[in-house]
Amino acid sequence: MSRITSMLVTHKKASISEIENAWHGDVEALLKWVSSHDTVEECAVLKTCNRVEIYVVSPRGEKVLFEIAKKARVSSRIIDIHDHDESLLHLLRLASGLESMIIGEDQILGQMKELYRIAKSLGYTGWVLDTAFKKAIQVGKRVRKETAINERSVSVGSAAVDLAEQILGSLEGRSVLVIGAGETGELISKALVSKKIGALYVTNRTFGTALSLAASLGGTAVPYEEMKRKIREADVVISATSAPHYILLKEDIERAMEGRKSKLLIIDIANPRDVDEAVREIEGVELHNIDSLKQISDENMRMRMKEIEKVEAIIEEELELLRAKYKRKEAEELLARIYSEAEKIKEQEVRRAMNKLSAYHTLGEIEQKVLMDMSHSIVNKIFAEPTKALKAAAEKGDTEMLRYAADLFRLNQEESD
């Protein structure tokens, strides 16, 4: 059974710009590229504002991933390569919120479900990755049900709101423009409403989406083409679109600041970024991006840290069950090959016996069936105890016994041939 290998580029080693540069295309294009490698049997991709992670099932997984990194010009300095067991542990920790920039955030679980759905719907996953991702999603749900890891926790979107509140002292009565009405924009908008802001403006390239979100929260939808003019009225701008390029340039903000005396706070949490970094040079404007979010919510972080031990206990328990499932599958595949070889020998010998008997008298259907059933029973009885032993060895992690069995039946030699 081929195993999982993963390559991670995350906020732990890489800056936001390095994560952005790790892959410029969309998820489907990356999946297609990865799957084009001859030895890749399955693949999946997790791409968010804080990470680009590639999972492959391949007998040469590490080599494939290093080739991808080299072609994409991703520095080895910011890459982590995980083997099968490390990949399984990472997926369970990721789904549980332990690998997020903000421990315990809920958004990653939804992102994982959607990105896995895309890979599966396009036919890029199979039993090995399906088993891992389904278990990770199940564990993520269990962790949130049985622990308080996500209580008082914040998504990247709500963290942006907390950051704005910290910088300005209070958001009460403030005018806020949210650019982007997708999942993150919705989280931002909901978090803002709880802060008693003075006015909420929502804009989106598809006006109907902005209209729907604004109406549900008592805000005002702004046509996308009027967005830059609306910035003049805003105290805070939080941008979270999926645009592949800057949507706000330095000259756009300079025009918005003409004749203005009050400060403008802009928080850009998009990946790739929505706001040109040159905006920092404009007087009266304060620009923050995802990197700034690393510095917030210390108190909430301490609360969540207390829950980590409980979460890790759940992960350890579930990881053992997951490993056992893979081990059983490995034994089942080995046994299937052994039985397949035995079946070939059985068929040959039964046919030979039938041919010899046919030389003396005609064999009817009943006689032929008796011979086939007898040979089938003999094979099953011979392999009954070895089957139990190999399954038990697999569950105990005794890979040596599995390897010896493969050698005994010359299955490894068959692979090398």
Please name the residues in contact with 265: beta carbons below 8 A apart, sequence gap of 6 or more.
Answer: 164, 167, 168, 235, 236, 237, 286, 288
Amino acid at 56: V
Measure the CA–CA gap between 101 and 10, rounded to whole angstroms.
Answer: 9
Look up tokens 């068929």; give the residue: 347
**Helix axes of 127-146 and 308-358: crossing angle, nearest 10 degrees:** 150
Largest Cα–Cα separation, the chain: 111
- Are 154 and 102 in contact by the 8 Å Cβ rule? The answer is yes
Measure the CA–CA gap between 382 and 72, rounded to whole angstroms.
Answer: 53
Catalytic residue from among 49, 78, 128, 287: 49
Amino acid at 52: V
- Are 348 and 121 in contact by the 8 Å Cβ rule? The answer is no
For residue 150, give the 3-state DSSP assignment: coil
* Active site (annotated) includes residue 43: no
Measure the CA–CA gap between 180 and 220, rounded to whole angstroms.
Answer: 13
Using alpha carbons, select from 25, 91, 36 the residue that is nearest to residue 318: 91
> How far is C-alpha 133 from the chain's CA centre?
8
Residues carrying an active site annotation: 49
